[in-house]
Amino acid sequence: MSSSSQPGTPGLDDEPRSIRKRRAILEAATTLFLRNGYLGTSMDEIAALARVSKQTVYKAFSDKESLFSEIVISAVNEAADPVHASVLELEDTGDIEADLHAFARQLLGQVMQPRILQLRRLVIGEAGRFPELGRTFYAQGPGRTIAALATVLERLAGRGLLQLDDPLLAAAHFNWLVMSIPLNKAMFLGEDEAPASAELDGWADAGVRAFLAAYGRP
């Protein structure tokens, strides 16, 4: 272990600068990808907007696809991490109806953030050319939430709080009942502003009511 990586030891002098540069590159690239699309953005333009040399960009990211991938993965994880934490808490619920409503509202609020909507559109638009990136978005986003929710729903069914044969199917139905209506509108209408949170809460609540009518205890 080199001395510079020991806990409590300050890093190399240039480390903070390289982190700052990395962040500037990521911000510039995000701005340009969202404005001009993936194909319409060059590493030269990213370097210029980030005010770094092209060499610096290539030192930090081996190519445009890696840079795009890092942006998408970190944005999706930032939205999905708090949702994932909440899914796990559902298992010990003392009030399944109230807790599913609260969870659905949180889930929808994360998905409908303007930046996440914009990236979702961009990844879908490029999925024919860059299916790997689409797979990553799907796996880290809806795929991860649905898988975790399936485990929890199965345990809630085991406690007699739900009725279901196929936990993964039930979790997917929950996910899309909660988000499909506002999400599909947002995908097509291209609006950058998310609807008011009262409106989103209404869609989340309606989705949970339908889910509980289908999968709740009789």
Residues at the site binding a second copy, with contacts judged by CB under 8 A: 34, 36-37, 39-40, 118, 121-131, 134-135, 137-138, 142, 166, 169, 172-173, 176-177, 180-181, 184-185, 187-192, 206-207, 210-211, 213-215
Residue 22 or residue 101: which is nearer to a second copy going by CB? 101
- What's the first-to-final CA gap in the chain, in angstroms? 61
- Token pair for 34: 């969202």
- Sign of the C-alpha dihedral computed for residues 80, 85, 88 and 94 taken in this order: negative
Dist CA 20 CA 147 (whole Å) = 36
CB of 51 to a second copy, least distance (A): 25
Nearer to a second copy, 41 or 86 (CB): 41
Q: How far is the CB of 11 from a second copy (least distance, A)?
A: 38
**Residue 18 CB, nearest approach to a second copy (Å):** 32
In the bound state with a second copy, the residue whose beta carbon lies nearer, of 58 and 130, is 130
CB 50 within 8 A of CB 17: no
Residue 20 beta carbon to a second copy: minimum distance, rounded to whole angstroms: 29
Select 49 or 183, whichever has its Cβ closest to a second copy.
Answer: 183
Give 59 or 214: the residue with its C-beta nearer to a second copy. 214
Tell the burial category of 20 from Cβ atoms under 10 Å away from its Cβ (0-12, 13-18, 19+): exposed
CB 15 → a second copy: shortest distance, Å?
36
Q: Which two tokens stand for residue 198?
A: 């009262």
Counting beta carbons within 10 angstroms of the beta carbon of residue 68, is it exposed (0 to 12), middle (13 to 18) or buried (19 or more)? buried
